[in-house]
Amino acid sequence: MRGASRSKNTQDLDKRVCMTNCPTLIVTVGLPARGKTYISKKLTRYLNWIDVPTKEFNVGQYRRECVKIYKSFEFFQPDNEEGLKIRKQCALAALNDVRQFLTDEGGQVAVFDATNTTRERRETIIRFAEQNGFKVFFVESVCEDPDVIAENIVQVKLGSPDYIHCNTEEAVADFMKRIKCYENSYQPLDEELDRDLSFIKIIDVGRRYLVNRVQDHIQSRIVYYLMNIHITPRSIYLCRHGESDLNIKGRIGGDSGLSARGKEFAKALRQFIQSQNIRDLKVWTSQMKRTIQTAEALGVPYEQWKALNEIDAGVCEELMYEEIQQRYPQEFALRDQDKYRYRYPKGESYEDLVQRLEPVIMELERQENVLVICHQAVMRCLLAYFLDKTAEELPYLKCTLHTVLKLTPMAYGCKVESVCLNVDAVNTHRDRPSNVDVSRLPEEALLTVPDHH
C-alpha cells in the first residue's frame, strides 16, 4: 500500500515474496488522447494496492509548472524551437525525479507518462534506465477510432488547466491541432525494429494486444491487469450484509444470521436494486451466512466467493472488544499501532486480505455492473482500491451497515454515491484511540468501542 510504513516489530520478520529485483520504469507511448494518463493512474493505483510502491510522473504537469500559461497548440509544433527545448527539459526533470523515487525513496515502479512518440526520445529513456539499473517496460496505446478519441477529449481534456479559459469548441479545435503536431513524427513501437524491447501495445482500447518479451513477474502482472480492464460505462455497488445477531452483541467475526433489522435491510436492498434498473447485474456474496441471507432476499441469482469472507480474527473470533482487551491486552494495543499489518493470532491481517481479494478485484475489472455484498474489513479493502486510499487510511474507512456505496468510474477516478437505506443498525466502527501504547489503561483502549447490547 502506498505509505505503508512498517512498525519496528514487523520490519525484521518481513521477508515477503519479492515482486521485482531491480526497479521498473514503465514508459507510456502514444498520441494525445489515447488513454495514457488513464492507464498510468489506474495501473499505479493497482500496483500500490497490491503493495508495490509505485508513482506516476506526468510530463505534462512538469510542463504546466514551467510554462505557467498555456497559449495554444503552437507550443507543440515540431518547428517551435523554444517549445522543444522546454519540453525536453521537462522530460529530463521528470526522469530525475523518477531516479530519486526509485533509488532513494524506496519506490519499486515508476510510470513515466508522456507521449514518447519518437524513437529518439525512447532511446534517451532506455539509456537513462540502463545507467541506473532500471528495467524498462513500454505501454503503448494505439487507437484510431474517432469516437473514442472525441470522448476522451471531452472527459479529461476540456477540464484540464490548459483550457480553463476556453469554451468547448475552442478547446476541442485546439486539442485536435495539438494531436496533429505529434502525428507526423510518431514512430509506433515496431515488431521488428523494437523486437528487443519489452512492451505491450494496446490496440483499440483492448480489442487487440501485442506483447513482446515480458521479462519478469511484475511485467507479467501488469500485462494481465491491462488485458482485463475496460472502459465500458458501468457501476459497482458495495455494501455489507444486513445487521447480524453477533453485530448486535458487539462481537466480531463468527458466522451468525441476520437480525430482524438485518432482514429489513435485505428487503430494502431488494427495492433499491430494483429501482436502480441495472442492466445485467451480477451479485456476489461471501460464503458466510449473513451475506448469503442478504442476497437471498434479492430474489436474483448470486455467486459465492470464499475470498470475500470477513477477515479471520483467529483467537479473537466472536469476542467483544472488551473481552479482547481483557484477554489479549497486548495484542489489542499492537493492533491499534499498525492496524493494516497487524495479524490476529491464528488469523489474518488487512494485508493478507488484500492478497486474498486480488482475484476479486481482477474479476471486478472484467465485469460490468456488479453488486458485492460483503463485510466491514473486506469492503474497506475493496473501497481502498477504488478510491486509492493508503494503508494507513484503509482500516479506518467508514463502511457502515445498511448503506450502499455506488462507485462509477469517471475521468481518472471514481465517483462515489453513498446511499443509506434508512434501516437502523448498530455502529461497528472503532476509531483509533489516542493511546496505542501496550502500557495503556483498559479505559483508554476501550474509549472508541462503539455501543452495543
Partner 1 sequence: MPRELTQNRIQKIWIPSKDDKPSMPRTCPHLANPPTVIVMVGLPARGKTYISRKLTRYLNWIGIPTKVFNVGEYRREAVKHYSAYDFFKSDNEDAVKIRQQCALAALRDVKNYLTEEEGQVAVFDATNTTRERRDMILEFGAENGFEIFFIESVCDDPNVIACNILEVKVSCPDYQDCNKTDAMDDFKKRIECYRMNYQPLDPDQYDKNLSFIKVIDVGRRFLVNRIQDHIQSRIVYYLMNIHVQPRSIYLCRHGESQQNMQGRLGGDSGLSTRGRKFAGALAEFVEEQNLKDLKVWTSQMRRSIQTAEALNVPYEQWKALNEIDAGLCEEMTYEDVRERFPEEFALRDQDKYYYRYPSGESYQDLVQRVEPVIMEMERQENVLVICHQAVMRCLLAYFLDKSADEMPYLKCPLHTVLKLTPVAYGCKVESISLNVDAVNTHRDRPEEVKRGPSILIRRNSVTPLTSPEPNKKPRMEGLDDPIIREVTPAQLTLLTLRVPKHFRGPLNYRLLMQQENVSHIFWLLASNQTLGLSLGDLLKLTNQMSS
- Residue from the set 187, 355, 390, 435 that interacts with partner 1 by CB under 8 A: 355
212 annotated as ligand-binding: no
Q: Which is nearer to partner 1, 305 or 321 (CB)?
A: 305
Q: Could you say whether residue 10 binds partner 1 (CB under 8 A)?
A: no
Q: Which is nearer to partner 1, 181 or 281 (CB)?
A: 281
Minimum CB separation of residue 261 from partner 1 in Å reads 15
Query: CA-to-CA distance for 349 and 13, rounded, in angstroms?
Result: 15
247 annotated as ligand-binding: yes
Q: Which is nearer to partner 1, 114 or 297 (CB)?
A: 297
Q: Could you say whether residue 217 binds partner 1 (CB under 8 A)?
A: yes
Catalytically annotated residues: 241, 310
Q: Could you say whether residue 88 binds partner 1 (CB under 8 A)?
A: no
Q: Could you say whether residue 289 binds partner 1 (CB under 8 A)?
A: yes
Query: What are the cell numbers at 171?
Result: 478547446
What does each C-alpha distance from 23 to 16, 193, 437, 452 come to in angstroms? 16, 25, 36, 49
Strand ranges, E, within 163-312: 199-203, 208-212, 236-240, 282-285, 303-304
Query: What are the cell numbers at 29?
Result: 507511448
235 annotated as ligand-binding: no
Neighbouring C-beta atoms of residue 100, cutoff 10 Å: 12
- For the residues of 343-360, what is the DSSP string, one character each? --TTS--HHHHHHHHHHH
Q: Which is nearer to partner 1, 44 or 293 (CB)?
A: 293
Query: What are the cell numbers at 148?
Result: 473514442
147 annotated as ligand-binding: no
Q: Could you say whether residue 266 binds partner 1 (CB under 8 A)?
A: yes
Q: CA-based angle 436:438:440, to the nearest 5?
A: 70
Q: Could you say whether residue 71 binds partner 1 (CB under 8 A)?
A: no
Instruction: Scan residues 305-324 and list those touching partner 1 (CB under 8 A).
Output: 305-307, 317
Q: Which is nearer to partner 1, 58 or 293 (CB)?
A: 293
- Residue from the set 8, 68, 71, 207 that interacts with partner 1 by CB under 8 A: 207
Query: CA-to-CA distance for 309 and 356, rounded, in angstroms?
Result: 10
Contact 293, 257 (CB under 8 A): yes
Count of positions on this chain that bind partner 1 (CB under 8 A): 44
Query: CA-to-CA distance for 23 and 174, rounded, in angstroms?
Result: 38
Using the contact rule CB under 8 A, the part of the chain among 22-30, 158-166, 172-180, 302-310 near partner 1 is 302-310
Minimum CB separation of residue 421 from partner 1 in Å reads 16
430 annotated as ligand-binding: no
Query: CA-to-CA distance for 312 and 343, rounded, in angstroms?
Result: 9
Query: CA-to-CA distance for 350 and 341, rounded, in angstroms?
Result: 6
Minimum CB separation of residue 145 from partner 1 in Å reads 14
246 annotated as ligand-binding: yes
User: Sheet harboring 370-374: ordered strands across?
Assistant: 303-304, 282-285, 370-374, 236-240, 403-410, 413-420
Neighbouring C-beta atoms of residue 70, cutoff 10 Å: 17
Q: Which is nearer to partner 1, 9 or 287 (CB)?
A: 287
Residues at the annotated binding site? 240-247, 290
Binding site for substrate: which residues?
A: 240-247, 290
The footprint of partner 1 (CB under 8 A) covers 15-18, 191, 195, 207-214, 216-217, 220, 223-224, 227-228, 255, 257, 263, 266, 284, 287-289, 292-293, 296-297, 303-307, 317, 346, 352, 355, 363, 366
